[in-house]
Amino acid sequence: MLKTSLQTLKSLPIVTKQQPPRFTKNSVVMEAQSEKVYAYYNHTDSCKFSRWTARESFEFMHARPWQEVVDFYSKSVNGRLSLLELFGTQAHDVHGDDKIEEVSNETALLEGVSNVDKSGRWARVTFKIVLSYHGGSFDGWQKQPGLNTVQGLVEKSLGIFVDEKKAQQLKEKSKPLEGCASVAGRTDKGVSALQQVCSFYTWRKDVKPHEIEDAINDVAPGKVRVVSVSEVSRAFHPNFSAKWRHYLYIFPLNDGENREEIEGEGDIENFSSHENCEKQRNECGELASEENVENSIISDEDEDELEGAKKPRSFSVCRVNQLLQQLEGKLLSYKNFARDTKAVRNVGPPTECYFYHARATETSLPCPDHGKEIKVMCVELVANRFLRKMVRVLVATAVREAAAGAQEDALLKLMDATCRRATAPPAPPDGLCLVNVGYTEFDRRNCLIP
């Protein structure tokens, strides 16, 4: 009986247990890359086939003579040029240096209070430091290990002014002797600033404002310059006390020699007159009209090629100005214009911003070294706050919508889009500059573009 059972078992087929597939880190990465799909937001308006894709917008924004703008900001940081020179003598009458100094003094008086009879933490001395720095020389504001940042440089230079107790604490923790600087707003790599505001406090009573100014100026001459240092109230905070931020974006327009260098990539022109603005809008409307779309039979294979041939390679500065003006005086959520920021925030400030001023105009970039002027578009934005990379995304999107011939409320409609792919990739940081931070009520007379 036992022998028969063994023979029966031997005759049965052998079933091996299948091992689950083994995934390595490299195989998972390769599989994810092979299945990665680049999707675009599906616009449904009449300009759908005239609007640039993300790649086309990126290439258009970067194919510019940015070095001229970088050099201009470098000279402005060192005090050899002024933003006022972009807008002629009329702007000097309204925005002269005396006016700027008057506003700064008024702000200092409002912020400063006496520390007499103060004790505890209120006895410490707080300094307001206004900085000007060249963005191309640093890896942004925020201090990061192994990177050359503005905050790292400033805090290192402030180390000699910390009090003995703080110095002892740093020594016990084996940390370098550095001060702690709070800032009005962190700038990205490549973004310049003419009047960035930060603060520093110490319990030492012998520290003078001019000593702080000399210490920072000696660290990186030509890259960072102190505009002013003043003693302010303990209650002052450069970020939370600020009421508005003032940004300027300089976008080079291809003109003269620079235009010839890029004409091989397409017919790139920049219209500024109202006549050309209307002409371009009509041409874009004809290309993207519903009648033309319905009568066109486009296969999947040549759809991208045909759309690329139709898309305009020019935009109107006056149309960009009209698009931006629609944002003034409105409290809107700019979650679709932000990058590296959660669209829905459960913790922290919301994504809503209020624009006091949003304008664009065409002017010429002064180049005194070789006597040539380069046409540029200046975009001036003043709001109570800005999200991460918001200015750069807003400028790139406004240019894209103007080139597509979109309506004046195009930017407002994008506020309600379902995802951030509806907006364009950020414009290059080379053209962006933090002009000023305000701690009094906004005055439109201080704007550069009326």
Q: Are 252 and 374 in contact (CB under 8 A)?
A: yes
Give the pair of three-digit tokens for residue 383. Answer: 């709001």
351/388 Cα distance (integer angstroms): 10
Q: Are 264 and 254 in contact (CB under 8 A)?
A: no
416 catalytic, yes or no? no
What CA–CA distances, in Å, run from 336 to 103, 244, 275, 341, 442?
34, 21, 32, 10, 26
For tokens 């003269």, what's the residue? Answer: 256
For tokens 């209650």, what's the residue? Answer: 235
Give the pair of three-digit tokens for residue 54. Answer: 């993300």
Going by C-alpha positions, the residue among 337, 406, 374 that lies closest to residue 64 is 374
Which is catalytic among the residues 71, 98, 139, 188? Answer: 188
Active-site positions read: 188
